[in-house]
Amino acid sequence: MSEATFTLRVDDHLKDAFTEAAKVNDRTGAQLIRDFMREYVQAAREKTEYEAWFRSKVEAGMKAIQEGRVLSSAEVEERAKSRRERLLSMKGAHS
């Protein structure tokens, strides 16, 4: 794997405090910055993937509404009631 140099400016106090904190944890500042960068990239990737998934779910829901594939509140309640009853009867059969 090739490597590149990443240069940034920080004030002396922050650099010294960071270097000391890294030493306390038996790490170098460079190791910690690389770790942070990897974690940040992973979190950004996960956020992007989640937002794409969420957007697709919202779009599917909007399409279902436009196509009239929706349930009334009463229908949802009735389905939930039936499911609860079915699950409770299964639980009672296994007790």
Lowest mean pLDDT: which of 13-22, 50-59, 85-94? 85-94
pTM equals 0.67
pLDDT tens across 24-63, in order? Answer: 999 999 999 999 999 999 999 999 999 999 999 999 999 9
For residues 64 and 70, the answer to whether their CB atoms sit within 8 Å is yes
